[in-house]
Amino acid sequence: MAKKKYEELSDQIIDLVGGKGNVSYLAHCITRLRFTVKDKSKVKDNEIEKLPGAVGINWSGDQLQVIIGQNVGDVYKIICEKHDFEMKSSINENLEDKKKGFNLNTIFDSISGCVTPLLPLLIGGGMIKAVLLILLQLNLMTPENPTYIVLSFAGDAAFHFLPVFIGATGARKFGANMAYGMLIGATLIHPQFIEMITSGTPLSIYSIPVYATTYGSTIFPMILATFILSYVERFITKYTPKIVKSMVVPLLTLLIMLPLTLCLLAPLGSILGTYITDFIMWLYDTTGFFAVGIVCVLYLPLCLTGMHTATLPVLFTMLTTVGYDPLLVIASMLYTINQGVVALLSSVKTKDTEERSEALTCTFTSFVAGISEPALFGFTLKNKRLIYASMIGCFVGGLYAGITNVYCYAIAGTVGFLGLPGFVGPDSMNLINMIIAIIISGIVTFGLGFKFGYKKEEVTE
């Protein structure tokens, strides 16, 4: 899509969502523009769905997700430039305009808004670690090599400093000052704080005991902290005289937030993250391969509703605590490649040349770029029998991956075939078994779809 078409698409989308004034928050993930709107009645979602360049739409609470595909970053950039949205800070939002109910969609949207902006950073760090692991396996580099050491620093830093990164993105998401968020996050991983905690030295603030744990590589503590920070900062700003606001607001905000974070919010977030990880590992250890199959089945509806991004904190927590992920990346990769299989099947079945070309493009996008939305919204959802075929295929492939104990050791930047290096680990069969799981999943889906996915009249038409 040329730049001129991007500009036309951006103008049309902004107009159809009710104008900039109706948008309280704008972000994007790998394939979707995410508009949090103030008044849903002003959004002409049916017309947005028909725009050239828009694959489809999805509502998640008050968030409109416009599925663009792999060009979403370019469209987002032009929207920000042409319509004066800020790419690096939150859009000013009058939270009094509309009180939103607290529901599951709000939670998913909040988690997604905190983590999604960090994906390039986390993917970069994960890929560095994956490359280093491959170099070690091939005996092309040793752990004592200076290049290995420096690159290892960079790969580890992407995860170790997550409290600082989440402090920035969380503050932006919830409408707080990013500097406060980053400072609170940096406090949690301050070397002296870590040293005193690990040595057993008791700490307190205002005579309140500080919970003794470390927070490197954690996500949930700072999501909770930045959420509360937004209310504390807003309250102090509202009641502070303008003449002393520049001095008083930072001071009081930090004096209140530091004990809240160190003594209550961060421990709660750490415990929450630990319990979620423990539950997933318990589910995996208890039900074994069956758990992998179930998660693989559920991944299609998760992606359909845009809730798949809410699993990212759990994924990163598992990678940084137990060192591998036995469920989420496997499910994501099987589902994504499976959507390419469905599109491939559609290209075989259709008699329309243009539709065949679109289907093959969607197949390539899923297989190589690891982007499933074009195939999902363009082909799978138009035929419920293909939905069933895809979910069954993912279930069978997931069962095999579970039976053979397939683990993902690093995020390789895509959940297409190019993401397979993330499965390189101590066991050389790990990668091979993941490839076999993908093949099994694809064969089952293609076979069921070919046999039962189309009625005779649908094919001839």
pLDDT at res. 447:
94
Of 382 and 155, more confident: 155
Mean pLDDT estimate for the chain: 83
pLDDT at res. 29:
73
Report the 3 state secondary structure along 395-414: HHHHHHHHHCCCCECCCCCC
Quick one: which of 94, 96, 76 has its CA closest to 86?
76
| Confidence band of 102 (pLDDT split at 50, 70, 90) | low
pLDDT in tens, 276-302: 767 777 877 788 788 899 889 888 887
Instruction: Tell me which of 29, 114, 362, 394 is the catalytic residue.
Output: 29
pLDDT in tens, 110-159: 776 787 788 678 767 767 876 787 787 778 888 899 999 999 899 888 87
Task: Identify the DSSP state of 108.
Answer: H
Of 273 and 375, more confident: 375
Q: Which amino acid type is present at position 251?
A: L
β pairing state of 208-209 and 63-67: unpaired
303 catalytic per annotation = no
pLDDT at res. 158:
84
pLDDT at res. 305:
60
Greatest mean pLDDT among 202-206, 301-305, 317-321: 202-206
- Residue 359 clears pLDDT 60, i.e. is over it: yes
- DSSP H/E element including 314: helix 312-321
pTM: 0.61
Greatest mean pLDDT among 225-229, 298-302, 352-356: 225-229
Of 220 and 254, more confident: 254
Q: What are the structural domains, with CATH classification, of the chain?
A: 3-86 (3.30.1360.60), 161-281 (no CATH), 288-460 (no CATH)
What does the buried/exposed string (b/e) look like for 113-141 if buried means 16 or more CB atoms within 10 Å of the residue's CB? bbbbbbeebbbebbbbbbbbbebeeeeee
d(CA 383, CA 461): 14
pLDDT at res. 299:
86
pLDDT at res. 91:
35
Of 57 and 182, more confident: 182
- Residue 392 clears pLDDT 90, i.e. is over it: yes
Per-position DSSP letters for 336-387, written without gaps between them: HHHHHHHHHHHHHH---HHHHHHHHHHHHIIIII---HHHHHHTGGG-HHHH
β pairing state of 56-60 and 204-205: unpaired
| Confidence band of 233 (pLDDT split at 50, 70, 90) | very high
| Confidence band of 63 (pLDDT split at 50, 70, 90) | confident
